[in-house]
Structure 1
Amino acid sequence: MALQDHPMWRKPQHHHDLDHAHEHVHWAELFYDLIHVVTIFLLGNYLSHHLDWHGFLVFTGVFIALWYAWGELSIFNSIYVSTDVWHRVIMCVMICTVMFMAASIPAIEGKGWTFFVLGFAANRAMLAALYFRAKRVNVTGRSMTSEKVRNFSLFAIVFAIIAFLPKPLAYWAFGIAMVATQAIYMIPGISVLRFERFAPRLGHLSERFALLTLIVLGEGFFKLVVTLSEKGIYKVSPDVLVNFVIGGVSMFVMCWIYFDFAGNAKPKDRKPATLVIWWLAHLVLMVCGVLVGVALAAEVKIGFWDPYPTDYAAIGCFGLAGYIAMLWVLRSIIEHRVASDFGRGDVRLFGIVLAIACFFIVPHVPALVANLIWGTALLSQIVVPVSRAWLTFRHE
């Protein structure tokens, strides 16, 4: 085997230039995902201690930044097959940038801010390096890679400057820069989606979405277990243990409905609008998944007859409504699935309305009743479609 053909030394190759490019995720990408287990847990902890509008806005902004750090690398790896030594070195550096961002989260409103934004700036610089390497060895797509190198290099400089701006100016500048990073994908005429070579392997990218969704929802289990272990499982009453199980079952059902109706599904076409909706719907879905996971941690803090904490109920009810809504959106832009024939709009609408109504009922009823209403909103999303499918297929 020639040296340049071995995975350890093979230069980045556009998947269009290969006879066969598999859709599966490389181990280095999975390792990159591991640090996001920590970031999401720390971010959930931050939200738990800042359950107000300010805390929610900070949580959302930080989550979006972390999600972009994950998502834009996933896009590169979906376009280019790259496994050589230098790619692995850059991936290692990128993992370190996210480590700095994660460690900064508990103090994000104070001295941690500078470290977080510098970590994000360095992450942008590493993405520029990846596209620069692709540019050198892929002559056909140099227009696209040149634009990506320029964009990521510029944003790396901008975010590095923002890290040292005085607050609150720094927050506004960071928000504007974040919007600008996404505008280059969405505004017709300047969008990189106009390039024919900007063509991710949709199977690979859908698998990446599915894996991160598992991590996001898995954090709900993590939060429940850690909260109960800190409280002392031997100290709580039986009704708290029942609530603990309710929380675990809820996170499992959320995984179930995602993978039955949207997980690992490719978009139905490559139109820019379809890809943008696919991208943004997954972002919102994952934000909502974290909200529900944090809200369910309150299950082990109360018994059947205690009122469910209103602040936790707010993020749990609206988080579930948003999660169901994004599944509804994804259904309209992904390839057809048989499951979607039974989980139609009426089921989604019922779940959304009941989840939102639950928030207004929570202050007036014990947690047992609130759990029953909220659980009905969630369980309806799988019980109704499965029942419909059974009634349809049992005669075939």
Structure 2
Amino acid sequence: MIATLRRPLAPRDPHEQHRVASPLELFTDLCYVVAIAQAALTLEHEIVHGKPGHGLVWFCVAFFAVFWAWLNFVWFNSAYDPDDTIHRMLTLLQIFGSLVLAAGVPDIFHEDFTLGVIGYVIMRIGLVLMWLRAAAGHPERRRTALRYVYGLVSVQAVWVAALLVTDGHLPLWLFVVAIALDFAVPVWAESAGTTPWHPHHIAERYGLFFIIVLGETILSVTLALRTAFAEEDPPFELWYVVAGGVLVTFCAWWLYFARENGEILTGNDVGYTWGFGHYVIFAAAAAVGAGLSARIAFYGHHAEVSDVVSSAFVTGPVAAALAALWLVNVRLHDASARTAVPFGAAIVAAVAVTFVPVSELWVGLICVALLAVEVWLTTRAPDVTGPA
């Protein structure tokens, strides 16, 4: 569609047929994954150089910064997307801010949020202007839109003030406090009236983002393998990483798309849990790539961590992803024992094989077994939609 300069910003129909992600939304997702790649690469560096605990904590922090920025744009665009020139320019401004954030991701691991906050300021300028357009174009939700404006501006002012006071080096407790304020904005704003987001469009946006994150995971492992196999005598165990990585990644894709997500997004009560819970799913998928790369370094005797520690960064994220997938997705379709038991067993088994040689292969086989059960359930058994 060729964009006009300006269209009236009316709300999109939440029941619109055949609503799909636009090319600009896909481009946005791709740019945000640049920041995710930076987070995963830095996590791998921290693991390999003997700082796994530090790396894990700050990976979670950095990944949340990326995820939260992406999430805010996704839900706005589902409710209001005129696809005119002004909207495209404001979206590109947010994309530019995400690239600044991506450049600052490695600094976050050193507790320096300077570039991250600057990136957020740029993104928030674009998002606030979007909400002002929504306030003008959707009188029924003007109060909601203005609450988003007031909330985003106020919280961003807190971030900037914290940055100035701490000279860019925010302690973890202050980050948690600021994030809590950020979390409060959509809850407060939506209490004045729900924005008309489209459930199937939201589900598609999340699904496409998950695919891109999986692609980044495959890329990171491929590059690590290329480096390892370039050595004079590459260890045979690298083939276990190949097999395990392929099984985990392919099963992750299939398990995620085994059920229709749009059907369960019936309102904000479900949407909040489902939308925010994907933080764990996305972060775990990215962390698996870092863990597999660390395993390659371990087998090549280039890592300063033990077998168990490097193994835990593969099995742990897999277990976390399966737990989150059941809690925010599968459970809302079918909360009975027939899904809880196989997922619970797979999670326990994934943690247990951390202490077994070539754990990456075993955890891949565990995922295959779980997938076999899910395929049987979704093709043979009726779906019981609804929360526990």
Q: Is the alpha carbon distance of 1:268 and 1:107 closer, same or farther for their aligned partners in structure 2, counting shifts above 3 Å?
A: closer
In the alignment, the residues of structure 1 paired with residue 217 and residue 15 of structure 2 have an alpha-carbon distance, to the nearest angstrom, of 41
> SS at the partner of 1:13?
coil
In the alignment, the residues of structure 2 paired with residue 388 and residue 70 of structure 1 have an alpha-carbon distance, to the nearest angstrom, of 33
Instruction: Show the 5 A alignment for 1:1-396.
Output: 7-16=4-13, 20=16, 22-51=18-47, 52-110=52-110, 113-166=113-166, 169=170, 171-186=172-187, 191-233=188-230, 235=232, 236-261=234-259, 264-270=261-267, 272-301=268-297, 309-331=307-329, 334=332, 344-359=339-354, 361-362=355-356, 366-367=357-358, 370-386=359-375
Letter in 2 for 1:177: A
In the alignment, the residues of structure 2 paired with residue 156 and residue 388 of structure 1 have an alpha-carbon distance, to the nearest angstrom, of 46
> SS at the partner of 2:258?
helix
In the alignment, the residues of structure 2 paired with residue 240 and residue 74 of structure 1 have an alpha-carbon distance, to the nearest angstrom, of 38
Deviates more, 1:75-84 or 1:231-240: 231-240
In the alignment, the residues of structure 1 paired with residue 194 and residue 377 of structure 2 have an alpha-carbon distance, to the nearest angstrom, of 43
Letter in 1 for 2:250: F
Letter in 2 for 1:217: L
In the alignment, the residues of structure 1 paired with residue 351 and residue 316 of structure 2 have an alpha-carbon distance, to the nearest angstrom, of 6
Q: Is the alpha carbon distance of 1:210 and 1:284 closer, same or farther for their aligned partners in structure 2, counting shifts above 3 Å?
A: same
8 A contact 1:265–1:334 mirrored in 2: no
Letter in 2 for 1:38: V
Q: Is the alpha carbon distance of 1:40 and 1:269 closer, same or farther for their aligned partners in structure 2, counting shifts above 3 Å?
A: same
Letter in 2 for 1:164: L
Deviates more, 1:104-113 or 1:143-152: 104-113
Q: Is the alpha carbon distance of 1:20 and 1:382 closer, same or farther for their aligned partners in structure 2, counting shifts above 3 Å?
A: closer
How much does 1:218 deviate? Answer: 1.6
In the alignment, the residues of structure 2 paired with residue 374 and residue 6 of structure 1 have an alpha-carbon distance, to the nearest angstrom, of 48
Letter in 1 for 2:44: S
8 A contact 2:346–2:366 mirrored in 1: yes
Deviates more, 1:94-103 or 1:279-288: 279-288
In the alignment, the residues of structure 1 paired with residue 281 and residue 155 of structure 2 have an alpha-carbon distance, to the nearest angstrom, of 26
Q: Is the alpha carbon distance of 1:379 and 1:318 closer, same or farther for their aligned partners in structure 2, counting shifts above 3 Å?
A: same
How much does 1:122 deviate? Answer: 2.3
Equivalent pairs counted in the alignment come to 373
Q: Is the alpha carbon distance of 1:355 and 1:175 closer, same or farther for their aligned partners in structure 2, counting shifts above 3 Å?
A: same
The residue that corresponds to 2:385 in the other structure is none
Normalization by structure 1: what TM-score? 0.84
Residues 357-391 of structure 1 show CA distances to partners (whole Å, capped at 9, x for unaligned) of 122x23xxx32xx2443233222211233356778
8 A contact 1:7–1:84 mirrored in 2: yes
**Which 5+ residue runs of structure 2 have no aligned equivalent?**
383-388
In the alignment, the residues of structure 1 paired with residue 55 and residue 295 of structure 2 have an alpha-carbon distance, to the nearest angstrom, of 21
In the alignment, the residues of structure 2 paired with residue 200 and residue 382 of structure 1 have an alpha-carbon distance, to the nearest angstrom, of 31
Deviates more, 1:113-122 or 1:93-102: 113-122
In the alignment, the residues of structure 2 paired with residue 327 and residue 53 of structure 1 have an alpha-carbon distance, to the nearest angstrom, of 24
8 A contact 2:39–2:105 mirrored in 1: yes
How much does 1:299 deviate? Answer: 4.4
In the alignment, the residues of structure 1 paired with residue 157 and residue 230 of structure 2 have an alpha-carbon distance, to the nearest angstrom, of 49
Residues 306-357 of structure 1 show CA distances to partners (whole Å, capped at 9, x for unaligned) of 9973222222222111111112113456457xxx999621110110110111
> SS at the partner of 1:147?
helix
Select the structure with the greater relative contact order (CA < 8 A; seq sep ≥ 6): 2
Q: Is the alpha carbon distance of 1:296 and 1:90 closer, same or farther for their aligned partners in structure 2, counting shifts above 3 Å?
A: same
Deviates more, 1:151-160 or 1:90-99: 151-160
Deviates more, 1:22-31 or 1:90-99: 22-31
* Aligned sequence identity (%): 23
Q: Is the alpha carbon distance of 1:118 and 1:21 closer, same or farther for their aligned partners in structure 2, counting shifts above 3 Å?
A: farther
Letter in 2 for 1:44: A
Q: Is the alpha carbon distance of 1:169 and 1:327 closer, same or farther for their aligned partners in structure 2, counting shifts above 3 Å?
A: closer
Residues 92-151 of structure 1 show CA distances to partners (whole Å, capped at 9, x for unaligned) of 111111111111122334595211112112222221111011212222221111111111
> SS at the partner of 1:260?
coil
How much does 1:20 deviate? Answer: 4.6
Please give the root-mean-square deviation of Cα atoms over the aligned residues, in Å: 3.1
Normalization by structure 2: what TM-score? 0.86
> SS at the partner of 2:140?
coil
**Which 5+ residue runs of structure 1 have no aligned equivalent?**
none
Q: Is the alpha carbon distance of 1:242 and 1:192 closer, same or farther for their aligned partners in structure 2, counting shifts above 3 Å?
A: same
Q: Is the alpha carbon distance of 1:20 and 1:214 closer, same or farther for their aligned partners in structure 2, counting shifts above 3 Å?
A: closer
Q: Is the alpha carbon distance of 1:237 and 1:61 closer, same or farther for their aligned partners in structure 2, counting shifts above 3 Å?
A: closer
How much does 1:83 deviate? Answer: 0.8
Letter in 1 for 2:158: V
